[in-house]
Chains A and B, each alone.
Chain A
Amino acid sequence: MLEVQNLSKSFYGTKAVDDITFRVESGEILGFLGPNGAGKTTTMRMITGFLPPTAGAVSLDGVDMAARPLEAKRHLGYLPETLAIYPEMRVAEYVRYRAELCGVPKKEAAARVGEALAKCFVDDVAKKPIGNLSKGYRQRVGLAAALVHRPKVLVMDEPTIGLDPRQIVKVRELIRDLRKDHTILLSTHILPEVELVCDRILIIDRGKIVAQGTPETLRQEMSHQPGLVLALKGEIAEADAAFRQLPGVTHAARIGAGGETRVVLESDRGVDLREAAFREVVARGWTLLEMTPKQASLEDVFVRLVSREADLAAAAEAEARERATTAEIPKIAEDKP
């Protein structure tokens, strides 16, 4: 279990992370999502005890990071974004070194190393120097090193960055598989990854949490206008007008092409249009080819959230600037005799 409370970090007066609170239960994978520079890496570095927070607290499996860092770090496996592993060491040697560093008892070390290597599918390169491995292998070696002491909490910063598609699939499978033994926090800016891998999502932007929830609830919450997409046989000019009369429909648009008419309906939240739309089609004697609920993709959600925040911030900044200049004018006037 990982708990983060009111975590903040300032660099030279600039807030990189601003009052973040969340928790990850054991057996859960939390996806940490945000545009580049949103504060993901900084947050992770505070969680892992690499950077001290300006304010707030982190606890891993109930152990406070600031108060008892060595004990807290024993529960932590960390895969950093810059996967720097000593290139001159051999794979098994490095994982063994990490095991010793993390206090794995000597008697168990060999077995644990073997187990970690097998789990991450790197046992076939155990004797190779890390510097000779491809990025995908190195990523998995890093993961094996993070797992070797069986930490309760696993933190991964962009675990699939720089991998080829086949390797990405493999690493994702691996991460999903790890869920049963670990509490996992992973950061990414790849949206499909979050949907595929994570149980819950946390979106941060400019150091603040802007949304959190399961991929489904996020999508529902953020799709401002729920609605339907209908496909009707033939080109029907009056289709949009007909649907617009239905109760609850706020907007209807029609696109006719290739002997088909597509109608996009938007409704108020909580209104289910499906039945009314079907009856309307039947009553008019049209042929219904397709009916799909209109769903905002997570990508839409993300872009909307992040850009909205950016717009708001830009607006606030512009306003502040304006206020500053207007405030200065009388001052200058006063100074003159």
Chain B
Amino acid sequence: MKSLLAIVKREFFAYFVSPLAYVILTAFLLINGYVFYLILLALNAPETPRTALMSLFFTNVFYWIFMMLVSSVISMRLLSEERKSGSIESLLTAPVSEATVVFGKFVGGWCFFLFLWLPTVLYPALLARHGRLDWGPVAAGYLGIALVGALFIAAGTFASALTKNQIVAAVIGFVIILAIFLVGIFKDFATDPRLRDALSYLNLIEHMEDFARGIVDTRRLVYVGSTAVFFLFLATRALDANKGR
């Protein structure tokens, strides 16, 4: 447990000594600021249907593209960097298991992802000052963000275990994440109602819309949780198989 914490801590703080972190942070704030501006415009327009505030965020194409890009970039270095430099040898000869290493790195990356979202709490706070705001759905929305982030970063961690090259890891990670995202989209093309239901279960946009309305559905939690664990398991196996190379 203590060694897990040590790994999480080192992973999290390692982001802040690389320029990449600041590039991501800046781009993230710029784009989210722009999205917030668009939402404000929409909210002020009289023809806007009355809807949950957060769903304006989550049905936004910017949100999804950025989620996918940022997750793959955040997770690309987690394992590939250690293998490229050879420091994985020191790490795995310490009394920690591969699973602990993978999980610690995943949590470190995930914490950085959550850190990115921290400044955006300012937006609902600003809105709350100028009108009534239901904090329940906002909190659920953030929970949804955290969950989807966990899923994407777990997939990215797996990609990072496959190669020593960070760029290759980012590309593989992005492709996997995109595939996870697109599977649910195919719901709209399915004619068989059972298939439609199954795909809808995998649809992340619906998933986020639920959260935006303040609905925390356990099925969504199970889907995200089990898939993330599955990817972390794959990452552990891949690390075990590749470490000596």
A103 touches B2 (CB 8 A): yes
Instruction: Tell which of B6, B9, B17, B89 has the most Cβ of chain A within 10 Å.
Output: B89
Chain A interface residue count: which class? Answer: 20 to 34
CA–CA, A288 and B175, complex, Å: 84
Q: What per-residue 1/0 map shows which CB atoms of A90-104 lie under 8 Å from chain B? A: 000000011011110
Q: What per-residue 1/0 map shows which CB atoms of B3-24 lie under 8 Å from chain A? A: 1011101100010011000000
Q: What per-residue 1/0 map shows which CB atoms of A199-235 lie under 8 Å from chain B? A: 0000000000000000000000000000000000000
Does chain B have a CB within 8 A of A69?
yes
Of the listed stretches A44-52, A246-254, A270-278, A322-330, name the one at the interface; the rest are far from the partner chain: A44-52
Q: How many residues of B contact A (CB 8 A)?
A: 24
Of the listed stretches B52-60, B93-101, B227-235, name the one at the interface; the rest are far from the partner chain: B93-101
B244 touches A103 (CB 8 A): no
Contacts of B2 in A (CB 8 A): 100, 103, 106
B93 touches A100 (CB 8 A): no
B93 touches A50 (CB 8 A): yes
Contacts of A82 in B (CB 8 A): 85-86, 89
CA–CA, A89 and B7, complex, Å: 13
Contacts of A78 in B (CB 8 A): 89-90, 93
CA–CA, A48 and B5, complex, Å: 23
Contact A73 to B94, CB < 8 A, known contacts A86-B10, A101-B7:
yes
Does chain B have a CB within 8 A of A84?
yes
Contacts of A301 in B (CB 8 A): none
B93 touches A49 (CB 8 A): yes
CA–CA, A86 and B81, complex, Å: 10
B96: shortest Cβ distance to chain A, in Å? 6
CA–CA, A75 and B94, complex, Å: 10
A257: shortest Cβ distance to chain B, in Å? 53
Does chain A have a CB within 8 A of B87?
yes
Does chain A have a CB within 8 A of B92?
yes
B215: shortest Cβ distance to chain A, in Å? 40
B244 touches A45 (CB 8 A): yes
CA–CA, A71 and B244, complex, Å: 21
Enumerate A44-62 residues with CB–CB distance to B below 8 Å.
45, 48-51
Does chain B have a CB within 8 A of A145?
yes
Q: What per-residue 1/0 map shows which CB atoms of B87-117 lie under 8 Å from chain A? A: 1011111111100000000000000000000
Does chain A have a CB within 8 A of B243?
yes
CA–CA, A103 and B10, complex, Å: 15
> Which B residue sits closest to A157, measured CB to CB?
B89
Does chain B have a CB within 8 A of A85?
yes
Contact A84 to B3, CB < 8 A, known contacts A45-B244, A74-B95:
no
Contacts of A89 in B (CB 8 A): 10
Contacts of A142 in B (CB 8 A): 90
Candidates A73, A80, A103; contact of B89 at CB < 8 Å: A80
CA–CA, A85 and B81, complex, Å: 11
Contacts of B86 in A (CB 8 A): 80, 82, 84
Does chain B have a CB within 8 A of A316?
no
B37: shortest Cβ distance to chain A, in Å? 36
Contacts of A88 in B (CB 8 A): 14, 17-18
A185: shortest Cβ distance to chain B, in Å? 13
CA–CA, A71 and B96, complex, Å: 10
A50 touches B243 (CB 8 A): yes
CA–CA, A69 and B240, complex, Å: 14
Enumerate A95-131 residues with CB–CB distance to B below 8 Å.
97-98, 100-103, 106
A102 touches B93 (CB 8 A): no
Contact A86 to B87, CB < 8 A, known contacts A50-B243, A100-B2, A100-B5:
yes
CA–CA, A277 and B3, complex, Å: 68
Contact A70 to B95, CB < 8 A, known contacts A82-B86, A103-B3, A145-B90:
yes
9 contacts between A and B (CB under 8 A): A50-B93, A51-B243, A51-B244, A86-B10, A100-B3, A101-B3, A101-B6, A101-B7, A101-B95
Residues of A participating in the B interface, judged by any CB pair closer than 8 Å: 45, 48-51, 69-71, 73-74, 76, 78, 80, 82, 84-86, 88-89, 97-98, 100-103, 106, 142, 145
Residues of B participating in the A interface, judged by any CB pair closer than 8 Å: 2-3, 5-7, 9-10, 14, 17-18, 85-87, 89-97, 243-244
Given A50-B89, A97-B6, 16 additional A-B pairs, CB 8 A: A50-B92, A50-B244, A73-B95, A78-B90, A78-B93, A80-B86, A84-B87, A84-B89, A85-B87, A86-B10, A88-B18, A101-B3, A101-B7, A101-B95, A106-B2, A142-B90
